[in-house]
């Protein structure tokens, strides 16, 4: 759907909200899958995003 390169640091919370995800109360796997579906990025991006968002508590 949206294949622009990611420039902003800290993820795409506004795009996630527009996709219908109201909160971050989901498992790391669900968030990772959601981000991957949106961004078509690799699991490495997912891991980087999770570490930045939660400080690595899901590692």
User: What is the pTM (predicted TM-score) of this model?
Assistant: 0.24
Question: What would the pLDDT profile of 29-50 be if each residue is shown by its tens digit?
Answer: 777 777 777 766 555 666 666 6
| pLDDT at position 59 over 50 | no
Residue 31 is predicted with a pLDDT of 74
**pLDDT, greater one: 15 or 52:** 52
Residue 29 is predicted with a pLDDT of 75
Average pLDDT over residues 3-27: 55
Contact call for residues 6 and 29 (beta carbons, < 8 A): no
Distance CA 38, CA 56 (A): 22
């Amino acid at each position: 759907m949206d294949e622009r390169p990611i420039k902003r640091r800290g993820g795409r919370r506004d795009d996630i909200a527009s996709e219908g995800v109201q909160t971050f109360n989901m498992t790391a796997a669900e968030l990772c899958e959601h981000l991957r579906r949106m961004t078509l990025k690799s699991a490495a991006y997912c891991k980087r995003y999770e570490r930045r968002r939660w400080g690595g508590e899901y590692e």
